[in-house]
């Protein structure tokens, strides 16, 4: 995964268009709606589509060659580990190729012990090709749908440079058989995801490719210095993105790290919007003043409502790629996961929750436990999440100290209690519904008795309150 939070920088865009694989559309073929021109003023008029704002939950999938060694030291969450020591002790298993080259790092020691000092990263490729034959994309899609996700974002090419689709763009720096000769992983998952009623997004690491720039990265300065800028790479990256758009018609373009300064950002995005006006792009093309539909903080949430739509991405544990060293104590508990989603949604965000499968496509029991728990909670309480918008404030608490988060939909206000109340009667501080409002507990029948005690709303909960990670009170009409 990326270190994007530290990478935002502004460079001048230039309109250089290479290897246009997406066929030009005639006026009759062009979709209805605005025709976007290849400049920031034009593409900046693109409006965030309702589907993305309504969705609230997406699944990120990190899967590739790094899923074979599947190891990193689980030292902590990104952003909470001292940055000076992060690269040597990188908790991201998808960075295995880089971290295994840092002498005396935990990953270097592990690699020597598990695989041998002379075992090269490219030797994992045939292992991945063999093990991934067991992969069943429909099982992933069924799981993600049951989790409550409305969209999926798949890593089509990570920093190691290996594409997971049968690209026509050849990489002269990869001297082994192409992954694409085996399966169209991107295409198969795209078909399965859409068959299960979800939207599909494509991740592409545009600002880092270790096959083009093989330097070992040990600091943020190294990351900034090694964003590929060669004409050869610009050609390949632009062509890859256009190929992904033409083949798979993604609903999300999720670029990572940055993008070469001479890449055809304006042309790429205008062509994409003209092809799919309901598509969205993230803000990780890395050139500060470029257009984006949403921002992408990593392992981050906010204290208050953000005006700009945002999407936080994070793993269930400390890594995006599967890390066999992670244990339950390194992962969000089911309760913490539910509370995280509610908190993010209350502040105008989406959660892009990562799943890291093993090379054979299997998903660990620890990850499955959390995905199932989230799905079960959303099955009951989803109306307080999907299609909602932030209220005038995001946070409150009860007089007993339980945290509360707010969402709204139409005239209804949802007050979501993060945890089981200590008493049957709960008092939410500084909340005053309209006189005559009806209050009910989502997932149950019948209205609840309530009173106003000064500035506080006091609600009597059902006597047989079911166990849950959070409880959503629907107030109609809200304030």
User: Of 410, 285, 378, 336, nearest to 56 (Cα)?
Assistant: 378
Q: pLDDT tens for residues 429-452?
A: 999 999 999 999 999 999 999 999
Whole-angstrom distance, CA of residue 373 vs CA of residue 380 = 11
Is residue 70 within 8 A of residue 114, CB to CB? The reply is no
More confident residue, 253 or 25: 253
pLDDT of residue 20: 34
Whole-angstrom distance, CA of residue 17 vs CA of residue 237 = 11
CATH number, domain 4-384 = 3.20.20.80
What's the whole-number mean pLDDT along residues 450-479? 94
CA 373 to chain CA mean position, Å: 19
What's the whole-number mean pLDDT along residues 403-429? 96
Grade residue 29 by pLDDT with cuts at 50, 70 and 90.
Answer: very low
pLDDT of residue 174: 81
Grade residue 414 by pLDDT with cuts at 50, 70 and 90.
Answer: very high
Q: Where are the domains of the chain?
A: 4-384, 395-476
Q: Which CATH number fits domain 395-476: 2.40.160.20, 2.60.210.10, 3.50.50.60, 2.60.40.1180?
A: 2.60.40.1180
User: Of 374, 437, 236, 207, nearest to 448 (Cα)?
Assistant: 437
This prediction has a pTM of 0.93
Q: pLDDT tens for residues 217-245?
A: 999 899 999 999 999 999 999 999 999 99
- Residue 166 to residues 170, 276, 470, 471: CA-CA distances in angstroms? 10, 22, 44, 47
| Per-residue pLDDT at 367 exceeds 70 | yes
pLDDT of residue 287: 64
Find tokens 């075992």 and name the residue.
119
pLDDT of residue 173: 87
Lowest mean pLDDT among 4-8, 155-159, 165-169, 329-333: 4-8
Residues in a beta bridge with 253: 202, 281
Whole-angstrom distance, CA of residue 46 vs CA of residue 193 = 25
What's the whole-number mean pLDDT along residues 256-260? 95
Find tokens 């992060």 and name the residue.
86
pLDDT of residue 177: 56
User: According to the 3-state scheme, what is the secondary structure of the chain?
Assistant: CCCHHHCCECCCCCCCCCCCCCCCCCCCCCCCCCCCCCCHHHHCCCCCCHHHHHHCEEEEECCCHHHCCCCCCCCCCCCCCCHHHHCCCCCCHHHHHHHCCCCCCHHHHHHHHHCCCCCCHHHHHHHHHHHHHHCCHHHHHHHHHHHCCCEEEEEEECCCCCCCCCCCCCCCCCCCCCHHHCCCHHHHHHHHHHHCCCEEEEEECCCCCCCCCCCCCCCHHHHHHCCCCCHHHHHHHHHHHHHHHHHHCCCEEEECCCCCCCCCHHHHHHHHHHHCCCCEEECCCCECCCCCCEECCECCCCCCCCCCCEEEEEECCCCCCCCCCCCHHHCCCHHHHHHHHHHHHHCCEEEEEEECCCCCCCCCHHHHHHHHHHHHHHHHHHHHCCCCECCCCCEEEECCCCEEEEEEECCEEEEEECCCCCCCEEEECCCCCCCCCEEEECCCCCCCCEEEECCEEEEECCCCCCCCCCEEEEEECCC
User: Of 212, 291, 231, nearest to 18 (Cα)?
Assistant: 231
Main-chain dihedrals φ then ψ at residue 214, nearest 5 degrees:
-85, 15
Main-chain dihedrals φ then ψ at residue 329, nearest 5 degrees:
-70, -15
Identical fold, 4-384 and 395-476: no
Mean of per-residue pLDDT scores for the chain: 91
Lowest mean pLDDT among 72-86, 184-198, 337-351, 373-387: 72-86
Grade residue 28 by pLDDT with cuts at 50, 70 and 90.
Answer: very low
């Amino acid at each position: 995964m990326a270190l994007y939070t530290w990478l935002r920088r502004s460079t001048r865009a230039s309109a250089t268009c290479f290897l246009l694989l997406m066929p030009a559309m005639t006026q009759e073929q062009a979709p209805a709606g605005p025709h976007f021109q290849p400049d920031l003023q034009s593409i900046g008029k693109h409006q965030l589509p309702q589907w993305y704002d309504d969705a609230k939950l997406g699944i990120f999938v990190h899967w590739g060659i790094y899923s074979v060694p599947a190891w990193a030291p689980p030292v902590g969450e990104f952003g909470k580990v001292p940055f000076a020591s992060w690269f040597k002790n990188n908790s991201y298993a998808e960075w295995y190729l880089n971290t295994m080259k840092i002498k005396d790092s935990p990953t270097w020691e592990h690699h020597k012990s598990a695989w041998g000092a002379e075992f090269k990263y490219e030797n994992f490729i045939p292992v991945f090709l063999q093990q991934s034959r067991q992969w069943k994309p429909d099982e992933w899609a069924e799981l993600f749908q049951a989790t409550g996700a409305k969209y999926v974002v798949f890593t089509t090419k990570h920093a190691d440079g290996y594409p997971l689709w049968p690209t026509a763009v050849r990489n002269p720096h990869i001297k082994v058989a192409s992954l694409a000769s085996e399966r169209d992983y991107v295409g198969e998952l795209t078909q399965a995801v859409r068959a299960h009623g979800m939207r599909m997004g494509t991740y592409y690491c545009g600002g880092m490719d270790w096959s083009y720039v093989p330097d070992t990265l040990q600091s943020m300065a190294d990351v900034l210095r090694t964003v590929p800028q060669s004409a050869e790479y610009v050609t390949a990256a632009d062509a890859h993105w256009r190929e992904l758009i033409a083949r798979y018609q993604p609903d999300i373009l999720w670029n990572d790290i940055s993008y070469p300064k001479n890449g055809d950002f304006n042309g790429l995005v205008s062509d994409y919007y003209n092809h799919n006006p309901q598509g969205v792009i993230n803000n990780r093309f890395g050139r500060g003043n470029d257009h984006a539909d949403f921002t992408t903080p990593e392992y981050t949430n906010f204290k208050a409502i953000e005006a700009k739509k945002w999407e936080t991405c994070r793993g269930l544990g400390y890594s995006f790629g599967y890390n066999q060293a992670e244990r339950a104590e390194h992962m969000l508990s089911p309760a913490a996961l539910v509370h995280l989603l509610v908190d993010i949604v209350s502040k105008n965000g989406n959660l892009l929750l990562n799943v890291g499968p093993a090379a054979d496509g299997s998903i660990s029991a620890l990850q499955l436990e959390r995905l199932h728990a989230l799905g079960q909670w959303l099955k009951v309480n989803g109306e307080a999440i999907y299609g909602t918008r932030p209220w005038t404030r995001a946070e409150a608490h009860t007089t007993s100290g339980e945290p509360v988060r707010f969402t709204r939909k139409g005239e209804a206000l949802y007050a979501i209690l993060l945890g089981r109340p200590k008493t049957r009667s709960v008092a939410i501080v500084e909340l005053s519904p309209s006189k005559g409002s009806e209050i009910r507990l989502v997932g149950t029948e019948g209205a609840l008795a309530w009173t106003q005690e000064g500035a506080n709303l006091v609600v009597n909960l059902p006597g047989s309150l079911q166990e849950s990670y959070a409880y959503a009170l629907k107030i109609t009409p809200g304030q």
